[in-house]
Amino acid sequence: MVVDVKEYDLDREITWCPGCGNFAIMDVLKNTLAGLGLSPHQVLVVAGIGQAGKMGQHFRTNTFHVLHGRLLPVATGASLVNNDLKILAIGGDGDGYAEGGNHLIHAARRNIDVTYMVHNNMIYGLTKGQASPTSEQSIKTPTTPQGNPLEGLNPISMLLGLKANFVARSFAGNKEQLGTILNKSLQKPGFAFIDILHQCPSFNKINTFRWFKERVYDINEEGHDPADLEQAFRLAQEWGEKIPTGIFFEDPEPKPGFREAVLGEKDRSITGPELNPLDIKEIMEEHL
Ligand X SMILES: Cc1ncc(C[n+]2csc(CCOP(=O)(O)OP(=O)(O)O)c2C)c(N)n1
Q: According to the binding rule CB under 8 A, does residue 270 interact with a second copy?
A: no
Beta bridge partners of 245: 218
Closer Cβ to a second copy, 15 or 138, answer by number: 138
- Residues numbered 10-29 forming contacts with ligand SF4, rule: CB under 6 A: 16-17, 20, 22
In DSSP notation, 114-155 reads -EEEEEE-SS-TTTTS---TTPPTT--BTTBTT---SPPP-H
Binding mask 88-117 for ligand X (x = CB under 6 A): ----xxxx----------------------
* Secondary structure of residue 269 in the 3-state scheme: helix
The binder of 18, among Mg ion, ligand X, other proteins, none, by C-beta within 5 to 8 A per type, is: other proteins
List phi, psi (to 5°) of 278. Answer: -80, 155
Tell me if 233 contacts a second copy by CB under 8 A: yes
Contact 50, 95 (CB under 8 A): yes
Dihedral (C-alpha) 270, 69, 133, 183: value to the nearest 10 degrees?
A: 40
CB within 8 Å of 250: residues ≥ 6 apart? 165, 166, 167, 188, 226, 227
Tell me the per-residue interface mask from 145 to 174 with Mg ion, x by CB under 5 A, - otherwise: ------------------------------
Which range binds other proteins by CB under 8 A, 161-169, 186-194, 223-231, 260-268? 260-268
Residue 16 binds what, of ligand SF4, a second copy, ligand X, none (CB under 5 to 8 Å, by partner type)? ligand SF4
> Closer to Mg ion at the Cβ: 38 or 156?
156
Which residue of 9, 106, 138, 217 would you call a contact of other proteins, by CB under 8 A? 106
Distance CA 6, CA 227 (A): 36
Concatenate the DSSP letters of all residues of 62-84 into one string: EEEE--TT-HHHHHHHHHHH--S
Mention every residue, 6+ apart, whose C-beta is less than 8 A from residue 281.
none
* Segment interacting with a second copy, rule: CB under 8 A, options 77-85, 99-107, 265-273, 278-286: 99-107
Interacting residue ranges for ligand X, rule: CB under 6 A: 49-52, 68, 92-95, 119, 121, 123-127, 132
Interacting residue ranges for ligand SF4, rule: CB under 6 A: 16-17, 20, 22, 51, 121, 125, 200-203
